[in-house]
Structure 1
Amino acid sequence: MKTARILLLGGCLLMADAHATSFVISTDITMSLTLSSSKGTSGSFKDDKIVLAAKDDAAAFVASNGEIRGAQMEAAFQRIRSLLPELPSTDLQLASAILML
């Protein structure tokens, strides 16, 4: 399953018109998700069941360039944005960050 995700993500990167700025923003978002916690302690979204459940949906979303929007990914977006309202991100950047967790 992990290999399939890596291959899917690799294919997405080859097809996408990626820019260094987008990568930096996605990396910053990933760091924010990794360092943040819903409890305000040293946890992260890596342990969040809602966000982890959205990985497959996020992979489909990224691979389809935003055309496929799964319910679990939408729930993860709502959770992340409610806990980190200051996080500036597009849906595509956020989905990419979820994949990197």
Structure 2
Amino acid sequence: MDVDRGIRVAVDTGSVTLGSEKTIQALKLGKGKLVIIAENCPREIREDVEHYSQLSEIPVYTYEGTSVDLGSVCGKPFTVATMIISDPGDSTILELMG
């Protein structure tokens, strides 16, 4: 499966939250189906995301690229260190965790 395409389709057709603060907030509420973290995500943020995702049993996928790459895959003109997918829409991105 093409991860980049899966992420893009989820952003375009589903419900996706970008940004570490909002991702962590969603994890604390147990909302979401998959967290995606850029490879170069700061260690403190990564630890927080991994901690809360374990508590809420939401899987974490490490994106093989920088936050700049992840941002451009999402079609955004800014970096994206973390994102959480609440609804994948037409995307098959959740198969990553299958």
**Which structure is higher in helix share?**
1
Instruction: Tell me the TM-score normalised to structure 1 length.
Output: 0.28
Instruction: Tell me the TM-score normalised to structure 2 length.
Output: 0.29
Pick 1 or 2: higher relative contact order, CA cutoff 8 A, min separation 6: 2
- Higher Rg of the two aligned structures: 1
